[in-house]
Amino acid sequence: MAATNEIAEIKVGDKLPDVVLKEGQPDYGAPVDVKLSELTGKIALFGVPGAFTPGCSKSHLPSFITAMDELKAKGVETIICTATNDAFVMEAWGKTSGGADAGIRFLADADNELCTALGLAIPSDTFVRSKRYSLIAEDGVVTHYFSSAEQASDTWAPNVLSAL
């Protein structure tokens, strides 16, 4: 695999990578595989550095929870939150935050395949985190991309909504 810095950052017009994320289902046993490239329709996907972290829990995720009705009204069929945590941590964060009840799917990028393929991995000595981002894809093709390179709030739901 190429080093993270050799992978170009995702951009409008790119296809979503062919990676498998995990959706935790602790009540039923093992996590469920979700193949990102097979999701159809209009999706909003946002990535955060980590579940339960302050910025992610107090700002980024709540912005999408409160914007669910507006996103649906703009034709977004599926809203997905991802981080480089395992499926059970993502499931717990979805339940305790109210995000799962609001209709957001919490998918684990535990092996950092997605953030690496998107050119958004932040390697460290202990593990890889994802840069903060949001994107809209229609039938697997990115139509809008929101980077946190300048400000974290550029990736929050109000900014996404203003572009739709």
Structure tokens at 130: 């994802």
Mean of the per-residue pLDDT values of the chain? 88
The CA distance from 43 to 72, in Å, is 10
> What pLDDT was estimated at residue 7?
83
> What pLDDT was estimated at residue 80?
94
Catalytic residues: 56
Q: Are 83 and 108 in contact (CB under 8 A)?
A: yes
> What pLDDT was estimated at residue 125?
81
Which amino acid is it at 1? M
Query: Structure pTM?
Result: 0.89
Q: What is the pLDDT of residues 72-87, one digit of tens each?
A: 999 999 999 999 999 9
What is the arithmetic mean of pLDDT over 4-29? 81
Q: Which class for 129: exposed (0-12), middle (13-18), buried (19 or more C-beta within 10 A)?
A: buried
